[in-house]
Amino acid sequence: MDYRDLFDLSGRRAVVVGAGSGIGEACAEGLAAFGAEVICADLDAGAAAGTARSIASAGGVASEYRLDLGDADAVRRAVAELGAPDVLLVTPAVNVRKRVLELSDEEFDKVVGLNLRGSFRILRDFGRVMAERGSGSLIAFSSIRAQVVEPGQGVYAATKAGVLQLVKVLSAELGPRGVRANVIAPGVVETPLTAPIRQDAAWYEAYRAKTSLGRWAQPSEMVGAAVFLASDAGSYVTGSYLVVDGGWLAADGRFEPPA
C-alpha cells in the first residue's frame, strides 16, 4: 500500500452545501485540491458560482448548484439531479443570540428549521441514495456548542447537539450499508456567522483567550478534518465527533496556577 494515496480524492464527487462562504467555501476548495470534483451548493447561487470559479482557476473541477435547505422539494430535486455523491459535506447554520426567556417561537423555529431540520433533510435524502449504492461519506458540521454553552446560545447549542446525535444514529444505521457519517466540531472561526462577535473587541478577546492556542481559527483550518473524513485516510472512522477548536474544550479556563 502507498500511504501517500490515502488522502487522494481523484475520481470522487463531493457535494458541499454552504460552499458560497466561510467554512463551506474553504472545504470545497480543499476537497478539490485533493482531486475531488466538487458541486458547490448554496442558497446564494452567485456565491456558489464564485467558489466554483476559484476552484477552476486553481486547476480543479467544480460547478455551482443553488440549494435551499429550507425547501424539502428543492432537496429532493437536488438528489434526483445530482445522484449519489461520494462525499456530502453540510455546513450551513444560523443563530439568534438571545437568552431562552427572550426567544420567540418564530426565532426558535428559524434556528431549528435550518440547523436541525435542514441538516436532517439533506443527510436523510442523500444518505438514502448513498446507502443504495453501498458507499459514501456524510460529513456534518456541528460545534463545540454541542457540549458547552453560554448565555444567548441556547437554541443554537440545542440544534448542534441534535446534529451530533443525528449523525451518530446515521453512522449506526448506514454503517452496515457502506456509508460513514461523522461530525466536525469547530471552535471559534472567523466566518460571516461570527462577524458580530468580531466587531466587539472585548468579546473577540475573551474567545481568543479561551483557546489554548491563543487565537481564532481561519476557515482553511477546518479543511484537514474534512479531507480526512472524506478520504480513505478515514475509512474506519464513523460516528465520530472530531473537535477542531484550538484546545477550547480541553482547558477549564486560561488561568495558569503557579504550581
- Catalytic positions are 156
Residue 178 makes CB contacts below 8 A (sequence gap 6+) with 130, 131, 133, 134, 135, 136
> 244 - beta bridge partners?
186
Shortest CA distance to 131 belongs to which of 238, 227, 9?
Answer: 238
SS3 (DSSP) at 98: coil
Dihedral through CA 236, CA 132, CA 70, CA 18, nearest 10?
A: 40
- What's the grid cell of residue 33? 485540491
Tell me the three cell numbers of residue 15: 457535494
